[in-house]
Amino acid sequence: MTPQPAAVVRPGSGASSGTAAPRARIVTAWAPSSPADPVAVFEAARRRGKDAMLWYLPAEGFALVGIGATLVLEAQGPNRFADVARRWKEIAGGAASRGASPSGAAGPVLMGGFAFSPGSNGAIWQGFGDARLVVPETVFVMETGNARIQVHRMGHSGGDGSPGSPEIEAALDEGLRVVQDARPVDAGPSGPARELVVEDVPPKDRWEAAVRQAAAAVRQGRLAKAVLARSARVSGEGGFVPGAALNQLRARYPDCCIFAVARDGACFLGATPERLVRLKDGFVDVDCLAGSIGRGATPADDRRLARALLESAKDREEHRVVLRRIVEVLDSLCSSLDAPGEPAIRKLANVQHLFTPVRGRLKEPAGVLELAARLHPTPAMGGYPARAALELIRDLEEIGRGWYAGPIGWTGAGGDGEFAVAIRSALLVGDEAWLFSGCGIMGDSDPQAEYRESCLKLRPMLAALEAAQR
Catalytic residue among 225, 370, 457, 466: 225
Decide: residue 297, CB within 10 A, 0-12 exposed, 13-18 middle, 19+ buried.
Answer: exposed
Q: What does DSSP say about strands 146-156 and 138-143: parallel, antiparallel, or unpaired?
A: antiparallel
pLDDT of residue 98: 65
pLDDT of residue 94: 82
Decide: residue 162, CB within 10 A, 0-12 exposed, 13-18 middle, 19+ buried.
Answer: middle
Asked if 199 contacts 399 with a C-beta cutoff of 8 angstroms, the reply is no
pLDDT of residue 22: 41
Active site residue 274: yes
Q: How many residues are there in the chain?
A: 470
Catalytic residue among 43, 137, 208, 274: 274
Decide: residue 360, CB within 10 A, 0-12 exposed, 13-18 middle, 19+ buried.
Answer: buried
**Three-class DSSP labels, 233-283:** EEECCCCECHHHHHHHHHHHCCCCEEEEEEECCEEEEEEECCEEEEEECCE
pLDDT of residue 188: 58
pLDDT of residue 13: 58
The beta strand positions in 77-137, using DSSP E, are: 96-97, 109-114, 131-135
Tens of pLDDT along the chain (470 residues) come to 444 455 667 666 554 433 333 456 888 999 999 999 999 999 999 999 999 999 999 999 999 999 999 999 999 999 999 999 999 999 988 877 765 554 445 689 999 999 999 987 778 998 899 999 999 999 999 998 899 999 998 875 444 445 567 888 898 999 999 999 998 887 555 555 677 899 999 999 999 999 999 999 999 999 999 999 999 999 988 889 999 999 999 999 999 999 999 999 999 999 999 999 999 999 999 999 999 999 999 999 999 999 999 999 999 999 999 999 999 999 999 999 999 999 999 999 889 999 999 999 999 999 999 999 999 999 989 999 999 999 999 999 988 899 999 999 999 999 999 999 999 999 999 899 999 999 999 999 999 999 999 998 998 899 999 989 87
Cα–Cα separations (whole angstroms), residue 418 to 65, 131, 279, 287: 14, 16, 6, 12
Q: What does DSSP say about strands 131-135 and 24-32: parallel, antiparallel, or unpaired?
A: unpaired
Q: Is the peptide bond before 460 cis (omega within 30 degrees of 0)?
A: no
Those residues with Cβ within 8 angstroms of residue 464's Cβ, 6 or more apart along the chain or in another chain: 244, 245, 246, 248, 249, 252, 271, 426
